Amino acid sequence: MQTLILFLILVSTYLMVIAKRMPALIRSFRYQSFFLFWITLGAAFAGGHAELYFVSALILTLKVFLIPSFLNRLAGKIKVDENLGLFINAQLSLIFALALTYCSWVFSQTLNFTPGSFQGTAVTVSFSVIFIGAFLMIFRMKAFTQVLGLLVMENGIFLFASSVYGGMPFFVEIVVFFDVFTSVIIMGLFVYRINKLFTHIDVNKLSRLKG
């Protein structure tokens, strides 16, 4: 069951890679966070830790409802075209994403887990999520994707911590959540400001500001 959810997380990440428009991207992120919530809940059932219940509830409220709806509202407010501006087209991006997954699989082999165990798979998945988050930040033009890419990377790190090492200390977890939440708000404001000032949110064009 847990392995299946891991697989679903991977699929939702691939969906983000091939997404061309903002709403699609946000929707996929919502799926990913939802599966992450399931995994955490499963771990809470298995281990019986009270904190993990709390953390999974936080994931549900923040990452599944609040942040995506905030981003959706922002996307609506900006009212520029919803295209993400792809440096690399969807098909090629998918090939890249697969290659990154392979890389993280090779990497997970170097960490001595028993072959085929849940943890080995979790390492592969979480690392490919982190890589693909970075990939999104680099190969999409709009400032919007930089925000989402960071969130995806955070999801990957959370997955790594919770599935491989049974979660970070509770307080660290809480702090990270609030960090993520505030950073989303701040970056959202920035994106909004950039749009107001330059009438676009194309980060690629910011290189003109260079001295």
Partner 1 sequence: MNIFDGQSYFSFDALSLFFLFVIFVISLPSAVYSFGYLKGEYSSAKIKLSWVLLALFILSMALVVTVSDALIFLVAWEIMSLVSYFLVVFDTTQEKSVQAGTIYIVMTHIGTAFLIAGFLLMHKYAHGFGFAAIKNASALMPAAVRNITFLLLLIGFGTKAGIVPLHIWLPYAHPQAPSHISSIMSGVMIKTAIYGIIRFVIYILGVDSFWWAALILILAVISCLVGVIYALMEHDLKRLLAYHSVENIGIILLGVGLAMLFLAAQMPFLAVFSLIAGLYHLVNHAIFKGLLFLCAGSVYKATHTRDIEKLGGLIKKMPQTSVYFLFGAMAISALPPLNGFVSEWLTLQAFFLGAFSFSGGAKLLLGICAAMLALTSGLAAACFVKAFGITFLAQPRSRHAEEAKEVPLSMKAGMFFLSALTVIFGLASVPIVKLLSKVSGAATGISVSGMRFSLNNFILSPQIAKSNCLSAFWLGAILIALGTTGFIVYYSLRRKRPVIYQTWDCGYYKINARNEYTATAFSKPFRIAFSFFLLPYRKTQKIRESFYHVKSFAYETHTTPVFKKYIYDPVLALVFKSAKSMRRIQPGSIHLYLAYIFATVLLLIIFMHKF
Residues that bind partner 1 (CB under 8 A): 87, 103-104, 106-107, 110, 127, 131, 134-135, 137-139, 141, 146, 203-204, 206-210
**Least distance in angstroms from the C-beta of 134 to partner 1:** 5
Distances from the Cα of 189 to the Cα of 35, 45, 73, 192, angstroms = 28, 38, 12, 5
**Least distance in angstroms from the C-beta of 157 to partner 1:** 13
Token pair, residue 66, equals: 């609040």
Q: Which of 9, 36, 1, 12 is nearest to 167 (CA)?
A: 36
**Least distance in angstroms from the C-beta of 197 to partner 1:** 16
Strand partners of residue 86: 140
* Closer residue to partner 1 in complex, CB, 1/197: 197
Phi, psi of 83 (to 5 degrees): -65, 145
CA dihedral sign of residues 103, 104, 106, 111: positive
* Closer residue to partner 1 in complex, CB, 86/174: 86
**Least distance in angstroms from the C-beta of 112 to partner 1:** 11
* Closer residue to partner 1 in complex, CB, 111/175: 111
